[in-house]
Chains A and B, each alone.
Chain A
Amino acid sequence: MEKLNEGAVVAEPGSSSRKKTGSWRTFRPVVTDKCVACGICVLHCPEPCIELKPSKDSKASSGKIAVIDYDYCKGCLICMNVCPHDAIRKEMER
């Protein structure tokens, strides 16, 4: 575990990039094999923590699939709601 300075002093720059905020999630959006990598979810993600990445599971001509960065995803499920292919489902975090 990262050593913490007394009094929460941040003594070197760049600490924000090491802070993860995914633990706030109640629901986890999960991309299924229906994904065609249209990128609508990428545009709508308010964080933004969805990227289209090459994958062997891709059914798209681009060879890509939507990948969610759970270190930062807050589980708002906007991606699930805007997906025109119904390719994102939700799971309860435990």
Chain B
Amino acid sequence: MTVPKTVLEGSEAVAEAVRQCKPGVIAAYPITPQTHVVETLARMIADGELDAEMIRVESEQSAMAACIGSQATGVRSYTATASQGLALMHEILFIASGMRLPIVMTVANRSLSAPLNIWNDQQDSIASRDSGWIQLYVEDAQEAYDTHIQAFRIAEEIHNPVMVCMDGFVVSHTYENVLIEEDSKVSEFLPEYKPLFSLNPKKPVTMGALGTPEYFVRFRKQQQDTLKKALETISKANEEFAKAFSRKYGNGLIETIGMEGAKHAIITMGSVTGTIREVAEEAGVGIIRVRSFRPFPAEEIRKACEGLESVGVIEKDISIGASGALYDEARSALYSLKNRPKVSGFIAGIGGRDITPSHILEIAKKIKEGEERTEWVM
């Protein structure tokens, strides 16, 4: 049976996916460019399309705290945020992951103030990369829809929260053809949520207890082991999704485009991949799109880069005082390659600055010169 394609805004596509995953609680606070997601979900609840409790909280910190509370009682919980909102949640992100609550959150990527800027870059979620959450970066509205369905499954399988990062405006506010699957097929793909532990007066447990040093370190190590294991879980979810819906994204962790016989490649994340696809052939580069930034697929990146002469990393974030986060980690992953390619880093698209095909061609030219460099595309 064919499912019709619908023209939807990226945010609406995400809301459709979330509706089909049937969370019991949605707690959110509006922030540009995420607002349309929860706005649509609120409408769905009001119209009786989704049976969920919408908690209108007073801040993003409260939104995440409310999700932790509801998820701890064994109820599938969801929230969405961006930028300052994610920054305000920062403290609580670690609590959600430390308590191993499989909350799913959409981040509509936006820059962080100051100066005040509502446009897209990926500084917000990159600044949360150490929080113990899985971070999946999507390229377009279809992948945003698909990845949310996968995200609930991944989160609940390994008991760890998942952040789905989509570029603000570029994905969140752009209308695209999106294939919306049937509700029943999504329910088949995503089994009912069965928590390992939940707050229940009939069987009391303590959550969020004190962890003295000798215990705390073991819990942190547990989280690290879980995220390493998640590499496999994410790949598997991508495969299973392909079986159910005939769409897949590389191996789930990275997607390689035009890498056969390539000598040079661009490593990147998110929607800018679309622009690079347009000119990759002309530019003479392959593309390695990182889909899972946490856990970081170092092994996959190494494999993809084996035999290359040079690679360039294009990213929309900067660890001020060091380098781009993706550049640092990709470069570190490649260090153990015997004949490692030259690695350059390009900070681009900061604060919504456009990345045009001409920029990509210019960057590709620089990559192919073979000299390692770190530059800004202003």
26 residue pairs bridging A and B, Cβ less than 8 Å apart: A4-B219, A5-B196, A6-B159, A6-B222, A6-B226, A7-B98, A7-B100, A7-B159, A7-B197, A7-B219, A8-B98, A8-B99, A8-B208, A8-B209, A8-B211, A8-B215, A8-B219, A9-B196, A9-B206, A10-B209, A11-B197, A11-B205, A15-B209, A19-B212, A19-B215, A23-B214
Asked if residues A7 and B212 are in contact (CB atoms below 8 Å), the reply is no
Give the chain A neighbours of B206 by CB distance below 8 A.
9-10, 15
How close is A64's CB to chain B, nearest CB, in angstroms?
31
Interface residue? A21 (CB, 8 A): yes
| Residues on the B chain within 8 Å of A10, using CB | 205-207, 209
Verify if B247 is at the interface (C-beta below 8 Å from A). no
Q: How many residues of B contact A (CB 8 A)?
A: 21
Q: Does the CB pair B213–A9 fall under 8 Å?
A: no
Contacts of A7 in B (CB 8 A): 98-101, 159, 196-197, 207, 219
Residues of chain A with a CB closer than 8 A to B56's CB: none
Question: Which residue of B has the minimal Cβ distance to A24?
Answer: B213
Give every chain A residue within 8 A of B207 (Cβ-Cβ): 7-10
B100 touches A6 (CB 8 A): yes
Does B373 count as interface, using CB distance less than 8 angstroms?
no
Task: Considering the complex, give the chain B residue whose CB is closest to the CB of A1.
Answer: B218
Chain A, range 20-34, C-beta contacts under 8 Å to B: 20-21, 23
Give chain A residues whose Cβ lies under 8 Å from the Cβ of B211.
8
Cα(A4)–Cα(B208), bound, Å: 14
Q: What 0/1 pattern do residues 306 to 334 of B give for CB contact below 8 A with A?
A: 00000000000000000000000000000
B212 close to A9 (CB less than 8 A): no
Chain A residue at minimal CB-CB distance from B218: A4
Contacts of B215 in A (CB 8 A): 4, 8, 19
* Chain A residues, Cβ within 8 Å of B212: 19-21
CB distance from A17 to the nearest CB of B (A): 13
Output the nearest chain A residue to B208 by Cβ-Cβ distance: A8
B219 contacts A9, C-beta separation under 8 Å: no
CA distance A19 to B212 in the complex (A): 8
Nearest-CB distance from B209 to chain A (Å)?
5
Question: What's the least CB distance linking A73 to chain B, in Å?
Answer: 15
Measured between beta carbons, the chain A residues less than 8 angstroms from B99 are 7-9
Name the residue in A6, A19, A20 with the highest tally of chain B Cβ atoms < 10 Å from its Cβ. Answer: A6
Per the bound structure, the CA–CA distance linking A72 and B208 in Å amounts to 23
B209 near A5: Cβ-Cβ < 8 Å: no
- For residue B219, which residues in chain A have a CB less than 8 angstroms away from its CB? 4, 7-8
Within 8 A of B (CB), among A36-50: none
Question: Closest 4 interchain pairs by CB?
Answer: A7-B100, A10-B206, A7-B99, A9-B197
- Chain B nearest Cβ from A84, distance in angstroms: 34
In the docked arrangement, what's the CA distance between A17 and B196, Å? Answer: 24
Expressed in whole angstroms, the minimum distance between the Cβ of B316 and any Cβ of chain A is: 32
**Apart from A5-B196, A9-B206: 19 A-B pairs, beta carbons within 8 A:** A4-B218, A4-B222, A5-B197, A6-B159, A7-B99, A7-B100, A7-B101, A7-B219, A8-B208, A8-B215, A9-B196, A9-B207, A10-B205, A11-B197, A15-B209, A20-B214, A21-B212, A23-B213, A23-B214
- Residue-by-residue, is B281-298 near A (CB-CB < 8 Å gives 1, otherwise 0)? 000000000000000000
Q: In whole angstroms, what is the CA distance A10 to B222 when docked?
A: 16
Query: Please, which residues of chain A bring their CB within 8 A of the CB of B101?
Result: 7
Instruction: Give complex CA distance A5, B207 in Å.
Output: 10
Tell me the minimal C-beta distance from B225 to chain A in angstroms.
11
Residues of B within 8 A of A5 (CB): 196-197
Which residues of A lie under 8 Å from residue B226 when comparing CB positions? 6
Residues in chain A near residue B214, CB distance under 8 A: 20, 23
Q: Please name the residue on chain A nearest to B209 by beta carbon.
A: A10
Can you name the residue of chain B whose Cβ is closest to the Cβ of A7?
B100
Candidate in A5, A7, A15, A20 with the most chain B CB atoms within 10 angstroms: A7
CA gap between A6 and B196 in the complex, in Å = 8
